[in-house]
Amino acid sequence: MTDATTETWLILGATSSMARALARKLAERGAGLLLAGRDMDDLQATAADCSFHNASWAEAIRFDARDPESFGPIVDRMQAETGTLNVAVFVGSMPPQEEIDAQPEMIDGVVSDSFTGPARLVHALAPLLEARGSGTIVGVGSVAGDRGRVGNYVYGAAKAGFHTYMSGLRNRLTRSGAHAVTVKPGFVDTAMTWGLDGMFLVAPPDAVADAILTAERKRKNVIYTPFFWRYIMMIIRAVPEPIFKKLSI
Ligand SMILES: NC(=O)c1ccc[n+]([C@@H]2O[C@H](COP(=O)([O-])OP(=O)(O)OC[C@H]3O[C@@H](n4cnc5c(N)ncnc54)[C@H](OP(=O)(O)O)[C@@H]3O)[C@@H](O)[C@H]2O)c1
């Protein structure tokens, strides 16, 4: 239990290098951290690093987006904390589109990882933030959700669903004083993009973490990170469909 002046952050998908960079920065400002994911060894190592770097406390907790039974203990753990409750969602999976094309049943897993699993847990946590009239939910989507393209449209569709969910959640939370920010990264140097062809303007995970903290402080609604992806995606969205459908971008 912490006192009312502290902030608690639940980080879903805390093995992501973007999430790890955010956790370190939150630790340095003294936050309490609940690091959630599937790889407990990795999460415990990050928790130890955060404790060393001034977190008021840091713990690992099991979370599997495809296993709703893992959600209840996380909600209970958050409820036990006083002060401001915050959530950052980094969960997502992007299997190669060709694998999904060969096994369409994989679509369910991608949608669970990148949209419905985290949304269902966030939905159970939203009333806690509303009751306290404070806190921020950060949802990491993707520029891939802005327009479906041949190379990753199942992942993109899941992210588009998540963006729409975040938009509605923001609309809901603003009534109580809590907030939701949608984060749309471009290409970031992480495990997800390791070895992929066609990457350009690749950002370091640390820059995404900095952008998230600025967005949280300024209560931004939707950010692209790095910022120039907003303009790249404006152009991509403006390409007329008869032309767009013939492109392989
Ligand atoms: N890298 C990019 O260029 C890029 C661009 C735009 C958006 N994004 C988004 O940024 C976020 C972080 O991705 P990343 O690039 O850092 O890649 P990553 O290392 O693969 O991170 C994905 C995270 O999601 C977790 N995850 C996947 N399926 C899960 C499940 N069923 N249950 C619980 N956790 C699950 C992974 O946990 P495990 O370690 O257990 O697999 C990992 O923590 C993702 O939402 C991704 O879509 C990335």
**Ligand 1, atom 43: closest residue by C-alpha:** 13
Residue 215 lies in a domain: yes
CB of 164 sitting under 6 A from ligand 1: no
For residue 28, what are the domain limits?
7-244
Task: Give the per-residue pLDDT at 197.
Answer: 79
Instruction: Report pLDDT digits (tens) over 79-128.
Output: 999 999 999 999 999 999 999 999 999 999 999 999 999 999 999 999 99
Cβ-based neighbours of 249, under 8 Å, separated by 6 or more: 149, 151, 236
Number of structural domains the chain divides into: 1
* 99 within domain boundaries: yes
Does residue 249 form part of some domain? no
| Residues 135, 97: Cα–Cα separation, whole Å | 36
CATH of the domain at 213: 3.40.50.720
Q: Is residue 2 part of a domain?
A: no
- 46 CB within 6 A, ligand 1: no
Residue nearest to atom 33 of ligand 1 (CA): 64
What are residue 35's phi and psi, to 5 degrees?
-100, 115
Examine the pLDDT at 187 and tell me if it is beyond 70.
yes
- Please check whether residue 1 lies inside any domain of the structure: no
Q: What is the pTM of this model?
A: 0.96
Proportion of the chain above pLDDT 70, given as a percent: 98
